[in-house]
Amino acid sequence: KQEVTQIPAALSVPEGENLVLNCSFTDSAIYNLQWFRQDPGKGLTSLLLIQSSQREQTSGRLNASLDKSSGRSTLYIAASQPGDSATYLCAVPNAGGTSYGKLTFGQGTILTVHP
């Protein structure tokens, strides 16, 4: 059974710092890995999706990497801003079975960026 772990559980940094969020998964047979952002009391917003054949994906100040063989992904946030404060979740769909969208989620990293 796939298990997804995110480290750290919480992170507090001053504005302007570059930071890295970690995600690891136990079963490397995945189609892709998706990073989400969740603001308090809201749904999830998709940030980046990395296909299993890709190593990196970038969007603005966000860069996500994927090392499928070691079961790891990192989300790099450059020049953090207070508006980046949120919970960040990673999720993977397993390659087995008939559904491409059954996601297994990590428990998330709660990020706080201080002005």
Partner 1 sequence: DGGITQSPKYLFRKEGQNVTLSCEQNLNHDAMYWYRQDPGQGLRLIYYSQIVNDFQKGDIAEGYSVSREKKESFPLTVTSAQKNPTAFYLCASSMDRPYQPQHFGDGTRLSIL
Q: Which residues bind partner 1 (CB under 8 A)?
A: 4, 31-32, 34, 36, 41-46, 49, 51, 89, 91, 98-103, 105-108
Token digits for 45?
Answer: 């917003």
Tokens 């969007």 belong to residue? 59
Residue (37 or 80) nearer to partner 1, CB: 37
Cα separations (Å) of 42 from 12, 61, 64, 86?
Answer: 21, 22, 23, 10
CA 66 distance to own-chain centroid: 10
CA 59 distance to own-chain centroid: 13
For the bound state, the minimum distance from the C-beta of residue 86 to partner 1, rounded and expressed in Å, comes to: 14
For the bound state, the minimum distance from the C-beta of residue 74 to partner 1, rounded and expressed in Å, comes to: 18
Among the listed residues 53, 76, 75, 55, the one whose alpha carbon sits nearest the alpha carbon of residue 67: 55
For the bound state, the minimum distance from the C-beta of residue 14 to partner 1, rounded and expressed in Å, comes to: 26
For the bound state, the minimum distance from the C-beta of residue 106 to partner 1, rounded and expressed in Å, comes to: 6
Residue (60 or 115) nearer to partner 1, CB: 60
Contacts of 69 (CB under 8 A, 6+ apart): 28
Token digits for 61?
Answer: 């100040």
Residue (34 or 80) nearer to partner 1, CB: 34
Residue (37 or 113) nearer to partner 1, CB: 37
